[in-house]
Structure 1
Amino acid sequence: MRLNRRSFCGSLVGGVLTAKAARADEAIIVTDMAGRTVRLPAPPKRIVLLEARDIVSMALLHPDPAALVVGWAATDRIDSKLLQERFTQGRDIALVGKQSPDTISIEGLASLSPDLVVANFYMAPHGSDDLLVTRLESFGIPVVFSDTSSNTVAGETLDDDPVANIIGHMQMWGAVLGVADRVRDYAGFFETQMQRVQRCVAGAPTVTTYLEIQSTAEDCCWAAGNKVWGSLLEHAGGKNLPGVTEPWFQKLQLEHLLSTPHAVYIASGGGWASDIRPAIGPGLDPAKGREGLERVIRRTGFDLLPSVRDGRVHGIWTGLISVPPLNILFIELAAKWLHPDRCAEIDPAATLAEINARFLSTPIEGPLWVSLQEA
């Protein structure tokens, strides 16, 4: 079923009531983000994450998610060494792979005796038919998909609106962890924040924006695609660069960027490779993040961009896009940056503070965003 903005908000709270907590010896049924129904003999206690950043979603629902995680892959994509250390709380979690599916050892993974493996379409691109999935299931290890985002048609999400998919993502984790009440609380909070943004951007002209998914001083120009990042931008009253046709990301020629007028430039950064990317993320010095933004706009031709000339240059931590339940922070930020007069009352810092106070036992420290011209 496809959800639009209105049906998404209307279904958030009601949908989560279908999940219920399971007893320690009771089988649970999980509907994953690929639409698969997976039976778990009991609530899992030994989980392997093929996408390590899923631990952030877990942390919004569980006080100590690392206690359940015995292995993970792609730890660099958490994009914050500080956050990784704080969520693990000193535990030694086995590394089962790096940032691509060809680095995963199926035998090594199976040797951890997991009772659940959580995958996505990036690490298991063929979904249910992926060799990794079929081998694990032949060993009696259940697999669920927490995300189906992909830059290929075959890996297209069931619903191309990531905001609509957030409810499914949280429901899935709520079922796995047996915390329907926590999902309900977060869903209500998310709905309230989304409605505020929708009110302030309603009727506003959309603002063309260059949203860059990989901002480095050495390379250009990796534009956000029309789905995932681009769809989140639409919820903030923006629109992607014309000419972008790929769903997740697309390499553009500098000439195309220079010939495409846009009002706002949003770069992405983080803790990984922060010497060439803007150092924006949990616990990082905002001055360093600002310096990183200044470096990327010194790339050839960027002084000719209207967004740069007008000083409408901003940067975000990648986790605001890559971790679904944190998407609300990106949407609020983009709404303020694209529509500063209409959305002046939106306060992403207050939203982050509420997320920390209500949902996270290990807070995510800001700033998670930087602007060259502070308001």
Structure 2
Amino acid sequence: MSLTCSIRNIIPPAVPNIIASTGTGARYWLVLGTSGEAAVTITRRSFCASLAAGFLSAIRPTGAEQPVTIMDMAGREVHLPALPKRIVLLEAHDLLTMSLLHPDPASLVVGWAAVDRIDSELLERLLVNGHTISVAGKQSPDTVSLEGLIGLAPDLVVTTSFMTPQGNGESIAERLGQFGIPVVFSDASSNTFVGARDSDPVAELKASMKMWGVLLGVSEKADTFVSFYERELAGITARISGTKPITTYLEVQSTLDDCCWAAGRKVWGDLLALAGGQPLPGVTAPWFEKLSLEYLLSTPHDVYIASGGGWASGSRPAIGPGLDPKLGRQGLQRLIDGRPAFGHLPSVRARRVHGIWTGLITNLPLNILFVAQAAKWLHPEQCIDLDPVAILDRINRDFAAFPIEGPLWASI
């Protein structure tokens, strides 16, 4: 849907208190109060956006649905007049979380951004499920426009702090709120207090599923998933209780030409800790840290876990839904053979080299698969009966709108 905004077509001659500025390509109008005083100056862009928002809200159907209130991942209480039916996702991989709760989530999504971060062509096709979803932006916030979002007539925009940063002025999220379009944040890093405390992936998973359960009207199914997650995690915790953490080089970006990006203490590091591991002692950054090859070679560690996915699979291990498992193993071997002296790493010499699909980290509901598989790699004796494939099968059988194909990890 597109709207052409022309001041001559919008303002009838009988409305004297809106005065257009003169000149070719005029950009500003002065809106006068009833007594003739200047009330506000607006730009053509903001005027058109306001007009579009008003027009679109006017044509939205009204029904007897009850309003809903959620607490989003930024800790904000957000009120919606009804369950959303036209959602824009500024992080496209949120659709995967929706797919664990809703049988056809793409039927509710009219736009999305950062589609490449789904990191699997097969998964993208399955998520779309034959629907048409407009691209609202790419992988950075500067590719998202207020006018583009309003033009999609959403009744909800789901975003993150990365995709809608505050900057020096009003963020897109704040502007959308001014136009009556509710905005919720789907990532915990959007919470301004997150840096003041330790991150907690389990608490974040529970909060995320509760939020989506309310938004999709399936709170009971969301609670069932959380219970399933907690049971599986408790089983892993019991198996590795009392074991010594295994020092692990966990790599957030595994490409031939850019070594060596270690996972930090938060998020990836938190999940590694749940699996009975710990980062290299020199890693102090919260999110990720670039290490020198010399440091890696001289620092004892037991296991190397690389990351891979669907994009740029020629330079990073091709690991993910729909990809040939042989390609993942070949990609891991290519990292070892193609990086100078990498074959001399303690973990490589011990032949404890593994790789994961990044989606197991970036998608909160799939974190349990990373924890399970990593625990099996780090503590093989204690976790001999732990079956991550069975966990994936349970997710596919009881929750997923479509099967998420494995394997989502590889080893050499």
TM-score by length of 2: 0.81
Residue 181, structure 1, aligned to residue 220, structure 2: yes
Question: Match of 1:160?
Answer: 199
2: CA distance, partners of 1:248 / 1:273? 22
CA RMSD between the two structures: 1.8
The offset of 1:25, in angstroms, is 1.2
Question: Match of 1:301?
Answer: 341
Based on CA coordinates, which of the two structures has the bigger radius of gyration?
A: 2
Change beyond 3 A, Cα 1:130–1:270: farther
- 1:227-255 CA-partner distances (Å, limit 9, x unpaired): 00000000011001112222211222222
- 1:46-67 CA-partner distances (Å, limit 9, x unpaired): 1111100001100000000000
Any residues of structure 2 matched to 1:61-210 within 5 Å, and which? 61-126=101-166, 131-149=171-189, 156=195, 160-210=199-249
The offset of 1:297, in angstroms, is 1.4
The offset of 1:157, in angstroms, is 8.0
Given residue 29 of structure 1, which amino acid in structure 2 is its aligned partner? Answer: T
- SS of alignment partner, residue 407 of structure 2: coil
1: CA distance, partners of 2:127 / 2:325? 22
Question: Match of 1:285?
Answer: 324
Sequence identity, in percent?
59
- SS of alignment partner, residue 286 of structure 2: coil
1: CA distance, partners of 2:128 / 2:263? 31
The offset of 1:76, in angstroms, is 0.7
Question: Match of 1:350?
Answer: 390
Given residue 253 of structure 2, which amino acid in structure 1 is its aligned partner? Answer: Q
Change beyond 3 A, Cα 1:154–1:208: same
2: CA distance, partners of 1:177 / 1:157? 31
CA contact (8 A) 1:236 1:335 kept: yes
- 1:36-89 CA-partner distances (Å, limit 9, x unpaired): 000011100011111000011000000000000111111111000101001101
Q: Which runs of 5+ in 2 are unaligned?
A: 1-62
2: CA distance, partners of 1:153 / 1:191? 27
CA contact (8 A) 1:316 1:370 kept: yes
Q: Which runs of 5+ in 1 are unaligned?
A: 1-22
- SS of alignment partner, residue 211 of structure 1: strand
CA contact (8 A) 2:156 2:181 kept: yes
Equivalences, count = 348
CA contact (8 A) 1:211 1:267 kept: yes
2: CA distance, partners of 1:68 / 1:157? 35
Question: Match of 1:369?
Answer: 409
1: CA distance, partners of 2:246 / 2:192? 27
Residue 333, structure 1, aligned to residue 354, structure 2: no
2: CA distance, partners of 1:163 / 1:301? 38
2: CA distance, partners of 1:171 / 1:190? 13
Question: Match of 2:279?
Answer: 240
1: CA distance, partners of 2:111 / 2:197? 28
1: CA distance, partners of 2:165 / 2:409? 31
Question: Match of 2:100?
Answer: 60
Residue 260, structure 1, aligned to residue 299, structure 2: yes
- SS of alignment partner, residue 156 of structure 1: helix
Question: Match of 1:17?
Answer: none
- 1:306-349 CA-partner distances (Å, limit 9, x unpaired): 10111100011111000001000000011000000011111000
Question: Match of 1:49?
Answer: 89
- 1:94-132 CA-partner distances (Å, limit 9, x unpaired): 1111111111112111110111111112212449x8612
CA contact (8 A) 2:87 2:108 kept: yes
